[in-house]
Structure 1
């Protein structure tokens, strides 16, 4: 898979990843556990994934050109899911980064953060949720829907909702 990821096209990258792993709609997404999704995506990109109770925090590294993600089973699952998505974003940016570009580390970290929002609650799946399309539903209710449907925490859901507004704005302006 060829990746050219930036903040404005991260939803296309995530959709490709999900489709390559046979997750094409909300029903597919809910038919597979998030741990299985983590394992499938890790295998797809040849990243070693370790789910362990020996760590207090989640981390990733690259030793000898082999990427690894360590996820602590001591943390709440939504933290594991969200951290996994962030680390995948960081790794993909590192693996597929065009060294000829001048993208700063800060921009890369922002893109990885946006990738994690998109990976955990993909735009193409959110568009299937009627509750997210209704203008009369308040933001707090939308945050609760995101939390419940996508197994993300409150803070993460509020950030995802903010980026969702940006995505809708970009979509309407094109």
Structure 2
């Protein structure tokens, strides 16, 4: 019955994250600024700086730091050079995508008519006007029965259903190689 009375008691407080800590991206940026290394700061230096600045960190601090560093690197907030993270230079050109950039399209002069796109495939060979016309392509005549041929290889013709001639002795031969005939052994004393 004690379980029914627990409705009057308030539930235990949920484990709230440290509300005094700023968000990880803010802590990472502050650590990089504090380290102020021109070649950038590696992950362990950033982690040590955050631990010294904010002493009370969650147990999964290393995992969270790695996750947020990768996320910030992919979003472009941080740049990674030789395993060191640094802030992105605001004057740097945007990161180019993979592959060759497309050619810039020149606008057509006004009044020009666009030609239709080329058809696919290899263009036909030029025909000689004096040459005789090519022979008509051969078409296969349909079978005498008038049935349309199906796809694939035609089935083998079935042999006549007449019974096969019996082997000597009137016994039908079995499958496989016949057994070796053993020579008759002559009596020794003769």
TM-score of the pair, normalised by structure 1:
0.27
Q: Which has the higher strand share?
A: 1
Structure with the greater alpha carbon radius of gyration = 2
Q: Which has the higher helix share?
A: 1
Asked which structure has the greater RCO (Cα within 8 Å, sep 6+), the reply is 1
TM-score of the pair, normalised by structure 2:
0.26
